[in-house]
Amino acid sequence: MLNQETSHPAQWWERTGNNDKVKCLLCPRGCVIAPERIGFCGVRKNIDGDLYSLSYGRPVALNVDPIEKKPLAEFMPGTTTFSLGTFGCNLSCSFCQNDSLARGSYSEAEFEHYVSPENIIELALRHKCKSVAFTYNEPTVFAEYAIDIAKLAHENNLKTVLVTNGYITPEAACDLYPLIDAANIDMKGFTPEFYATMTGSELQPVLHAIKYFYELKRHVEVTNLVIPERNDSDEMIENWLDWVEENMDKSIPLHFSAFHPAFKLLDVAKTPPDTLYHIRDVATKRGFTSVHLGNI
């Protein structure tokens, strides 16, 4: 049963207005949540005027993966990572490649199955993994859980990996990102219009998150899922490469992955391989030294 006794107190929120409403400060969406209601992400609930995380300790996906699957091309290659994800996401991408988790919700049976941070570390060590990865759905929405796991991971000589959309407030990023050793951050499409119409969010907070993680001097790679006639124009790609060059450097591993029809974009064709080859040629001619293609 979803109540104060079975849920974990959330961080990054404040009381607002009347009638015990709360404002979530985890991501730029800033949901104002009435009592007994749940935020946009589907896993942060107002219970009697306090905000709780429904996904803390309740992973719905646990797997041992090659680190390259995250994808991370240049971080601990050849090792395995213990991957976990929950339900929930703070974006509404029409092209979501994992909507069963992103838009999923907990049943009573799933909610009763608790996996502590200590259990996660035990499993990672048992499977001889070198790292723990927060992945599959959007880890920002289970940031409290990720933070507690990350601290224990480092105590046990395990690295931490984050696969994220980067849609997070600076306050929450300052708590989570310094605990992460390597991240792959999605840049969905390099215009505010793309983010507004295709993800229901904003581009600028994502760019801030990418730059902040880079400035922490952690290992960062960035992925762009290339969707035909949506974010594959030469102008958009060139502008994105301009930003990377100006705000990071040309050695940053960049991933360009092919879109496959999914979720609400079932009528859009998969990305032709030639499109990705062209993008790689453009980037390498500009001096980018680590360009990777995926899903071909």
The HSE-up count of residue 95 (CA atoms within 13 Å, CB side) is: 25
And the tokens for 276? 């990705």
Helix (H, G, I), strand (E, B) or coil at 114: coil
Strand partners of residue 9: 52
Task: Express each pLDDT in 186-234 by its tens digit.
Answer: 999 999 999 999 999 999 999 999 999 999 999 999 999 999 999 999 9
List, for the chain, all residue ranges whose pLDDT scores fall below the cut of 50: 1
Is the pTM higher than 0.75? The answer reads yes
Task: Express each pLDDT in 124-139 by its tens digit.
Answer: 999 999 999 999 999 9
Structural domains present in the chain: 8-53 (no CATH), 61-294 (3.20.20.70)
Provide, rounded to the nearest whole percent, the portion of the chain with pLDDT above 70. Answer: 97
Please name the residue that has the structure tokens 């991933």. 255
The HSE-up count of residue 193 (CA atoms within 13 Å, CB side) is: 3
Helix (H, G, I), strand (E, B) or coil at 68: helix
